[in-house]
């Protein structure tokens, strides 16, 4: 073992252990800050959007295009470009699901914005 001194390996191991311990303390500190923010901060609930159709489009692009296609003309799910439903029916479907569609985690204001957008693009 003349050509392979043990010291560089020991130093690397010690540095690695110290790095792990210090990053653990940083993570614990960040976790404590996040918990304090959740406990003390009031969440701002949106009561309406300035432009509900634009917001509905943004939400639809995030939530709907995976199943209903990029232009919402159909994919794994049905087309959403020619709906013959009321806004209330659309909101109900969004929030509670229908058939194989799962419920979407949108609040009433967000679901209403999506419904307004879908009705605005319906033929």
Interatomic CA distance for residues 122 and 120, integer angstroms: 6
Rounded Cα distance between 58 and 105, Å, is 15
CA distances to 6, 16, 17, 23 from 27, in Å: 32, 16, 15, 6
| 20 is an annotated ligand-binding site residue | no
Does the annotation place 101 within a ligand binding site? Answer: yes
**Residue 51 is inside which H or E element, if any?**
none
Q: Where is the binding site for heme c, in residues?
A: 64, 67-68, 101
Q: Binding site: which residues?
A: 64, 67-68, 101
């Amino acid at each position: 073992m003349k050509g392979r001194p043990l010291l560089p390996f020991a130093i690397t191991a010690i540095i690695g252990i110290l790095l792990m311990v210090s990053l653990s303390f940083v993570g614990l500190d960040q976790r404590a800050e996040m918990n304090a923010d959740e406990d003390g901060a009031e969440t701002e609930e949106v009561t309406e959007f300035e432009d509900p159709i634009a917001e509905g489009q943004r939400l639809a692009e995030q939530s709907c295009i995976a199943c209903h296609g990029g232009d919402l003309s159909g994919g794994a799910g049905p087309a959403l470009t020619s709906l013959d439903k009321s806004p209330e029916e659309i909101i109900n479907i969004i929030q509670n699901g229908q058939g194989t569609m799962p419920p979407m985690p949108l609040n009433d204001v967000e679901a209403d914005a999506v419904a307004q957008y879908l009705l605005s693009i319906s033929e």
